Structure 1
């Protein structure tokens, strides 16, 4: 018994304490677990960030698609409007050219008609004479007949001259005491008009109802 006890104590005394090499495997295993846990956590975060980034990119793409579609629609409408405006401008240009040609032709016609009117007016006035000095109202309702009778009486003509027109000038009717408006008389025959002027020029003074008259 004593020997066993001695051996046992001897064996206990001879046993060496555990070294760092004996504890290393346990520490390495824990480190690996921590690293793996960190990697898994990092992977989870990366997946979360990737999903969020993908969602944001998809949202941006959708917004861009909507914006581009809207711009394309607006561009199509503007293109159609521009085409319509170009077509309208072409049509209006043709219309304006046609109108310019028409206006030039009408201007030429108006110039010709104006010259003809001036010529006709001048011709119509060639047989006109003016009788000045007869009181207002003497002609009553038939100034042409009155002028014919007045010519015969004033100039001592054998026949009553044929007149186309006989009327007062278009000036406003004068008030009492003011100078009467002249008569505008158009003689039908030119030779009769010349004879009237010749006789009136031969006489120094012309009177109607004892009032002096003038011829022009």
Structure 2
């Protein structure tokens, strides 16, 4: 068997050596590396080209947009500038007006105070000018004929039982339109020559019973201004309550100040009817206890 194997080996001949690469040939790994480097360079070139294209496009677009925006915004910019100037002018004007209003407020406050003071003085002067006046209410229209002063003097003497006719400076109806049939007659405004005589007339009118002339009831009052009359009328309910308080003296003094003197002798003065009513109800009003059945 050994001989045969040897013979076979001789037949085959010597072993062929492996083939070596030809000179100048490139290996597969080198080719792959070269391809990778080429791809990288191509990617870099493409990225550079893309960046350049984007940059140029942006420049073109931004330039066109800037022109469009400038064309659109230029009128708006001019309007904004004009509005800024207008707003600045308005702010200056508002500042001036604020200063003027501050000055006007001070002036108005001063004038208001002065008007209030002058109003009080005018009311006081008007009230003093009526100190000698009285009002005669309820005399039928036309009773005085053409001599109202003489008529009222005789009327007062007859109604109040005076020793003689009072000296009157003048007497006339109030200046409202003449009433129609069925309406209340206009009061007489009478100016008495002497203040003392005027006080006597009012005292007798207050102490006398109901006064009548030709079947009509006649009343005699002081002649007050409208504001004073309203202030005095506000004490009507208080005076009504005071009439039912035994031992209490009271009087309504000019212009509208209520004096209340309880049995203790201490006088209380009120210019507010609400406070006066509270005082009467809480301090003076007697509690009536019903009799037991």
Runs (5+) with no aligned partner, structure 1: 1-48
Compute the TM-score of the two structures, normalised by the length of structure 2.
Answer: 0.44
Map 1:195-206 → 2, pairs under 5 A: 195-197=200-202
Give the SS at the match of 1:59. Answer: helix
Instruction: Work out whether residues 166 and 197 of structure 2, in 8 Å CA contact, stay in contact via their aligned partners in 1.
Output: no
CA distance in 2, matches of 1:201, 1:76: 83
Runs (5+) with no aligned partner, structure 2: 1-52, 222-293
Cα displacement string for residues 16-71 of structure 1 (whole angstroms, at most 9, x for unaligned residues): xxxxxxxxxxxxxxxxxxxxxxxxxxxxxxxxx99x95765543232122234233
Compute the TM-score of the two structures, normalised by the length of structure 1.
Answer: 0.57
Tell me by how many angstroms 1:147 deviates.
2.5
Cα distance change of structure 1 residues 169 and 151 upon mapping to structure 2, 3 Å threshold: farther
Structure with the greater alpha carbon radius of gyration = 1
Instruction: Work out whether residues 153 and 165 of structure 2, in 8 Å CA contact, stay in contact via their aligned partners in 1.
Output: no
Aligned to 1:184: 189
CA distance in 2, matches of 1:196, 1:153: 12
CA distance in 2, matches of 1:184, 1:191: 17
CA distance in 2, matches of 1:125, 1:149: 22
Aligned to 2:96: 91
Higher RCO by CA contacts (8 Å cutoff, separation 6 or greater) = 1
Instruction: Work out whether residues 169 and 184 of structure 1, in 8 Å CA contact, stay in contact via their aligned partners in 2.
Output: no
CA distance in 1, matches of 2:210, 2:83: 88
CA distance in 2, matches of 1:214, 1:201: 9
Instruction: Work out whether residues 147 and 166 of structure 1, in 8 Å CA contact, stay in contact via their aligned partners in 2.
Output: no
Tell me by how many angstroms 1:125 deviates.
3.9
Aligned to 2:120: 115
Tell me, yes or no, if structure 1 residue 63 matches structure 2 residue 68: yes
Aligned to 1:100: 105
CA distance in 1, matches of 2:150, 2:64: 104
Tell me, yes or no, if structure 1 residue 128 matches structure 2 residue 136: no
CA distance in 1, matches of 2:105, 2:64: 60
Tell me by how many angstroms 1:209 deviates.
6.4
CA distance in 2, matches of 1:190, 1:165: 15
Cα distance change of structure 1 residues 100 and 56 upon mapping to structure 2, 3 Å threshold: same
Cα distance change of structure 1 residues 145 and 73 upon mapping to structure 2, 3 Å threshold: farther
Whichever structure has more helix as a proportion of its residues is 1
Aligned length: 166
Tell me by how many angstroms 1:156 deviates.
5.3
